[in-house]
Structure formats: structure tokens, C-alpha cells
Structure 1
Amino acid sequence: MKTMTRLLAALSAAALTLSLTACGGADSAASGSTAESTATAENASATHIYVLTAAEDHGWTGSVATFAKEKVEELNAAGPYTAEVITSASASEQITKVEDILAQGTENIAIVIQPMDDTVQSAIQQVIDAEVPYVAFDRIIDSVSASAVSNVKGDNTGIGAGSAAYFVSLGMQPGDKVYVYEGDTSSVTTLRNQGFTDYLTGKLEFDGAAIDPALQWTEEDLASITYSGAMNWSRSTTKESFESLMGDSANTDIRWIYAEDDELSMGVFEALAGGGIDEATKEAFLANAPAITGCGGLGEMYDVIRGESYADIASRFSGVCSVTYSPAMIQTAIQDMVDYLDGKPVEQDHVIACENVVADNVEEYPSF
């Protein structure tokens, strides 16, 4: 009898071990996980949340995984849900990892995904077909967005509006020369351009307020805005572009520089600090007390705003601003999934409003 009892106990323990392994997701080394599940017997049947992001390497995109891991650690410590972060270096790798997750079983799982690009649509459609709840973050793929629990994104038009509002607050007048450093050729850049001009023409508000009608721009005024073309979010490309721009002395009177990312703004500061622009040209440009905006929350840009970096150059500017578009928004996306699993209402089109970060409030905002 004792032998039979021991055998039944051993079989029960083995069954429990198999159950926990199934609920805990793929092995970290095999799946690319950056945070392991902490499933226990008490929550073995609770939903496991897979958070799929780009690789944690550098820049805004890489920082998404860093903030995701912070939130995942919090969830694993608090329960009842377990979670892990799975990173990918390419869209094809991300598609494979989604397929691997689904192949392990689709019960008691949920997915939060930052799609690498629009080709990930095929994998997301598989998630939808498997009736697995998912939240999309940052890159929203329109063809599948209606099936998401929530589509969490920053306000790209708000970035443009915030930059325009900042310039107007510093005295920008209709028809003033503006130079826009564009990110790429995607809808992100289109929306950031649109937000800038829509604010100036009175079509869009920022922070609950519209432009003073006396300062509104006409369509003819908008012709004074020059667009750089795609910088591909590259600091070095922007640096070279600004050096070339300043190679024509007629451009030294440009006062308003709207950079659509903090990396692009830093390219301008690096150009002004380097040797690619002659000193007389730099002096002519800085004598006009230019202003510059970026966005994203880059720590180096916040250091400039604080006056701790490029201080001799930045002090000659009438203003330096970064509009919020933080990679920490991934934590909101994860929380939306938790709220959904808890049975709470979740906003499907979840746009996170922008705010302008300047010297007076920079300490209130996290950077990366």
C-alpha cells in the first residue's frame, strides 16, 4: 500500500511539472525570451502574457524592450498573471516567434506586440484566427487593428502640433522660414508633418488650445516651410544635411528647426559643435537666436534642455524642446492587456497625448 501511495504521488508531481512547463511558455534560450515566467501551482492556469518587441540594442526602439522588462518583472512579482519579453532582430524572426508561441498551445495566453513592420500582419492574423487576445503597440497595422484589444500609440499629429505651438509661443510669425527634418517616408512622418501645419492653420489644437486667430497661417504662408526629405531617423545623416544647409549663407536666417525625432535634433547640435561649418556661418546662424524641437525622450536631448550638454551652443538658442513620445508607452500597452484580462473596459484606439518638455519641466519626465 505504501508503495502504491508513493507511485501515485510521483505521478501527480510529474503531471504538475508538465502543466507548469506548458503554461510557462518557451524556454528562454530557445525563444529569445528576456524575462522568464514565474508560474506557480497557485496560478498555473492563469493567463501568460507574451510581450514581443524589437531587440534591446539602442535608441528609441531598443529602449521599448527595457521598459517592457520592467513591467513584466512587476507583473510576475504581483500575479496572478505571468509574462515574458521576447525580442526579435527582424520582422521575419518576429513572425517565426509568434508562430512558435501559437504552436505550443493557445489556451490561457495573450500577446502584446510591437510589430517590426507591416509584414508581421500575417502573424497577427494567425493570432486573431486562434482567438488569442492581443494588444498592438506603436506600429499599428490598419488591416488587423479592428481585432485588437487595444492599439496603443503615441500621438504623431500631436508631435507636430506641439512643435508648432512651441515656436508660436516663442514669437514665430506667419510666413517665417521653417526647416523640417523628416524621419522617413512612412505614415509617421506624414502625420508629424500634418500636425505641424494643421496647428498653424487653426485646424488642430495642442494641449486643449488652438493658435491665436491673429497668428494663423494661410496656405500661402506654408510655402515658407522647407522639408529635408527622409533622414531615416539618423543623427549622422542629419548632421551632414545641416552642414550642407549651412553651406549656403542664405540659410543662416532660418530660425525655426522642427526635427521629428531627438536623434535628428542631436545631429544639428553635433554639426554646430563640429568642424563641418565655418565659424562665421555658425555665428550668423546663432545670432538669430534659433529654436529647435525634437521628440522621443532621448536622454542626451534632455541633457541639452537642462543646460548640461552643448551648453555654449544651446544658450544661444531662444528655445530647445522635446515633445513626448516615450518608449515607456509599452508599459501602458501591457497594462491594457492586464485590464482586459481583469474584465475592465479598455480603449481600443488608445492614443497617448503629447506634452512639451522644456527647461522648466524636464525633471518631471523619464528619458532613455
Structure 2
Amino acid sequence: MTNFKKNIIAAVVAGGLSAMFSAPAFAADKNIIVLTSPEDHGWTGSVATFAKEKAKEITSQGKYDVNVITCDNAGYQINQIEDIIAQGDKKLAGIVIQPIDDTVMSGIQQIVNAEIPYVAFDRIIDGVANTAVSNVKGDNEGIGAGAASYFVDNGLKPGDKVYVYEGDTSSVTTLRNRGFVEYLSGKKEFNGKKIADNLKWTDEQLKNITYSGAMNWSRSSTKTSFESLMGEASNADIKWFYAEDDELAMGILEALRGGGIDESTKDKFYSHKPFITGCGGLEEIYSVIRGEDYKDIASKLGGIMSVTYSPSMIQTAEQDMVDYLDGKKVTQDHVIECHNVTKENVKDFKSFN
């Protein structure tokens, strides 16, 4: 049995996903391969940009040679994994992978079978999660809790109408929804605190939360949906809008800037000083929060906020692999804490395009 397999078995026995891993005997090998989505635009595109930045930094230090390979679909990513394994690179130290979707589980299983240590990033596939050196991910439940906390801090009362713009039908949306309602019901904390007892929501009051259904992380779909929502004038009374991504929040803002909503409905909407939250770190949203763009709209809102979920987290995944190979201990279930970005602290956070 190899040292790598021994490490996996020992870690799972010791504590499953929270186990700590130390490096295998072949830690002196040089090559690290990073597999990500294409470097095009938005959150996923920025992952590759940050991955290449970190790869250059690590490579310049001379101990490891890090190469980033982008894959635009799951089938191609699996083919890349198969090619890497087939080449039998004797200097291959490990792989960092951002799975395109859950079908990449078969490729990851091939990595495990080939006894190559790997770090998974962002999309953690449950069926193979306990075989990873580290599973690096943002705190999706924390995103929901952060949005709920922000609303409560700004006057949200139990039973108020809330509208949630959902990302898709994946576990990411499920977790972001769960964090939101669990903060409101007092089951979850954010930034070290829970909701006050007198502000907790009952199960009946939670029914006043309306969910959009899957927007598929699309700005244009959200814009169209919001215009349709405001087509019923009574919906202009809704004050609290939790968008599960900055692209979705931008869809709301674009709808408000455009001509698809009756001006009298807009006036009614603004009269309640509504709040909008997103998440991610998109520069367009940060520029609104900083007061540089959408000034006319932002001035009529109660507030706008974005919870952090930065694509730069891929650099943590790369560092986890290096630390593991250097004999340092890394946490297998590596959840990165999120923060609420508001006009008071936006200068302290790095955005992406």
C-alpha cells in the first residue's frame, strides 16, 4: 500500500472531512497541474486568471513547476485528466482541480486510482470528497447568513416580504438558501453573532420568503424576471432582495435603469428604500457600493451589499497543495470565511471583472 493511500485511510479513520493530511514520500517531485474553467469572463473566468497568477508565483520560487490547463466542458476536463495520467509523468507531484460539474467524478476517481494527490476547489463532489488532500470552498451557507444578517441590521422584521433570486438548482443554491433561513430562525450565526430572540422568524413567517427559481446565474434572466415581477404593481412593496450572486444583483440594477418598468412603479419601489444584496466580488457591484456607478439608483436605495465569494480562493487551493507537498498539515474540509462588503469597508476588498 502506498504512503498516499495510507494517509487517506488514516485521515478518514481519524475524522473524515475534517482530518489533517501530511505529505507523501514523493513530495520532492516537481510538477503541479491546475485544471480550471476557461479564462473568459465573470467569476469562473477569473478563477483561471487568479490560478495563473499564483502558478507564476510558485514557479518563480524554483521548487515546483505549476501549469494551468483550462477546460470549457466536463468531457474535455476528463480527457485532460486521462491524458495526464497516461503520460505517466514521473515528476508529477499533484493536481489541483476545479471540477466543471459532478460528472468529473469519474476523472477524479482515476486520479485517486493513479495514486496522485489532489486538491479540489469550489465544486466539491461528495462521492470522492474524502479522497482529496484538501477541499477548498467558499462558505455558501455563510453567504445566505450574511445577507440575512445585513437585512436584520437594517430593519428587517419577522414576516416581512423577502424576494430571493436563486442561482441554479445545484447544492450551491440549496446551501445559500439554507444559510439565509437558518440565520433568520436563529439556528445559524454570522460574524460571531446570532439574531436576537425577539427578531427570530417562525416557520410560518418564513413562508413570506419568495424564491425566483433558477436564474442560472444569468444577469439578463434576472433583469427580465425583475421587470416581470414589477409588472404587478403590488410587488413594488417588497423591500428586501437577496440575490445569490453579483450578476443577479446587477440584473436588478439594470432593470431599474432600463425602460421595462413603469416609472410610477419605480417611484413606489424607491419610496420604501429597498435593500439589495449579492455575492462574489464583481467589480461592477463594488463600483456601485463605492458610489461610483448607478449613483441615481443607489441614492434611492436603502443600501446595497455583496458577500465575499472571491475567485481568488483558487490560490488557497494551490497553496494547500504546496503546503501538503512541503510536509505541512492542511485541513481537508477547508471552508473560507465570508464577509459582508458595504460602503464602509469596500476599500478593504479586492474585486474581479
TM-score norm. by structure 1 comes to 0.87
AA at the equivalent of 1:233: W
Distance in 1 (alpha carbons) for counterparts of 2:219 and 2:255:
10
C-alpha distance after superposition, 1:200-224 (max 9, x if no partner): 0000000111001111101011011
C-alpha distance after superposition, 1:167-193 (max 9, x if no partner): 000000000000000000111101000
After superposition, residues 320-339 of structure 1 pair within 5 angstroms as 320-339=304-323
After superposition, residues 1-368 of structure 1 pair within 5 angstroms as 46-109=29-92, 110-368=94-352
Q: Determine if contact 1:50/1:83 at 8 Å carries over to the other structure.
A: yes
Higher RCO, 1 vs 2 (CA within 8 Å, ≥6 residues apart): 2
Q: How much does 1:103 deviate?
A: 1.0
Distance in 2 (alpha carbons) for counterparts of 1:107 and 1:293:
48
Percent of residue pairs bearing the same amino acid type: 67
Q: Determine if contact 1:111/1:132 at 8 Å carries over to the other structure.
A: yes
Distance in 2 (alpha carbons) for counterparts of 1:171 and 1:294:
18
Q: How much does 1:278 deviate?
A: 1.1
Distance in 2 (alpha carbons) for counterparts of 1:367 and 1:99:
35
Q: How much does 1:106 deviate?
A: 4.7
Q: Determine if contact 1:180/1:226 at 8 Å carries over to the other structure.
A: yes
Q: How much does 1:79 deviate?
A: 2.1
AA at the equivalent of 1:255: K
Q: Determine if contact 1:140/1:151 at 8 Å carries over to the other structure.
A: yes
Q: How much does 1:161 deviate?
A: 0.1
Runs (5+) with no aligned partner, structure 2: 1-27
Q: Determine if contact 1:106/1:132 at 8 Å carries over to the other structure.
A: no
Q: How much does 1:108 deviate?
A: 3.1
Counterpart position of 2:12: none
Q: How much does 1:47 deviate?
A: 2.2
Counterpart position of 2:16: none
Q: Determine if contact 1:163/1:258 at 8 Å carries over to the other structure.
A: yes
Distance in 1 (alpha carbons) for counterparts of 2:347 and 2:29:
39
AA at the equivalent of 2:130: A
RMSD: 0.7
The DSSP-based 3-state class of the residue aligned with 1:220 is helix
AA at the equivalent of 1:316: K
Deviation >6 Å, runs of 4+? none
Distance in 2 (alpha carbons) for counterparts of 1:135 and 1:106:
18
Q: Determine if contact 1:159/1:354 at 8 Å carries over to the other structure.
A: yes
Distance in 2 (alpha carbons) for counterparts of 1:357 and 1:50:
33
Q: How much does 1:225 deviate?
A: 0.4
Counterpart position of 1:8: none
Distance in 2 (alpha carbons) for counterparts of 1:134 and 1:289:
48
C-alpha distance after superposition, 1:262-283 (max 9, x if no partner): 0000000000000000111101
- Aligned residue-pair number: 324
Runs (5+) with no aligned partner, structure 1: 1-44
C-alpha distance after superposition, 1:88-113 (max 9, x if no partner): 11111111111111111153321000
AA at the equivalent of 1:282: K
The DSSP-based 3-state class of the residue aligned with 2:54 is helix
Distance in 2 (alpha carbons) for counterparts of 1:260 and 1:281:
24
AA at the equivalent of 1:149: V
AA at the equivalent of 2:148: A
Q: Determine if contact 1:106/1:130 at 8 Å carries over to the other structure.
A: no
C-alpha distance after superposition, 1:291-346 (max 9, x if no partner): 01000000000011011111110111111000000000000000000000010010
The DSSP-based 3-state class of the residue aligned with 2:70 is strand
